[in-house]
Amino acid sequence: MSRSLNSTITTALAADVIQPFFAIDLLFDSPNETYIWNGVGTRTINSKAYSGLGELLQIEPIEETGDISARGATISLSGIDNSASSLFLKALATPYQGRVCKIYFGVMDAPSDYVEIFSGYMDQMDINEGPETTTITMTVENKLVALERPAGTRYTSAYQREQHTGDKGLDFVAGLQTKRIIWGATPE
């Protein structure tokens, strides 16, 4: 499972008829990990049993840019019979924000050869319950979104001592602001 397409997938994509699939790992807290794919029935891929949701599962196009920008993904399940949505309502009852979500692409010719096309953190899950069916939409943040958050590091003496006990390196910074330094002169 590397980011680059292996020869099996590349060969399958060059064929006249292509049978692609998408598989999704929703890594909620154990034991609520959820593995789904866009086919029918249960499919075991690398020892994980993926539940098939067929056309009910929709993945918005995943953008990849040349610059370092955090593009997210949106996963939707629509037209779910209200009695069949208990799996996701169970997952919703557990904390989901910040949990890992991975999206894979593969071909049916060799389902054990697949490539991870997206990895991120679950952000929001919206449930629209109708009289007979439910639509669940989940937005997933790209892992690069962590680069946009402030680090929380402070350049103070107290913070430095908290990180490195006994370090007095920043004790003298406040005094440097009013210190008069003349370059090239000898000290008096």
d(CA 19, CA 22): 10
Least confident of 62-66, 130-134, 160-164: 62-66
What mean pLDDT comes out for the span 173-187?
79
**No. of helices (H) and no. of strands (E), the chain:** 4, 9
Query: How far from each other are the two terminal CA atoms of the chain, in whole angstroms?
Result: 68
Task: Tell the residue number behind the tokens 């040349």, with chain if given.
Answer: 66
pLDDT bin (cut points 50, 70, 90) of residue 2 is very low
DSSP assignment, residue 9? H
3-class SS of residue 146: helix
pLDDT of 114 over the 70 cut? yes
Separation of CA 51 from chain center: 20
Percent of the chain having pLDDT more than 90? 7
Query: 140 pairs with which residues across the strands?
Result: 73, 122
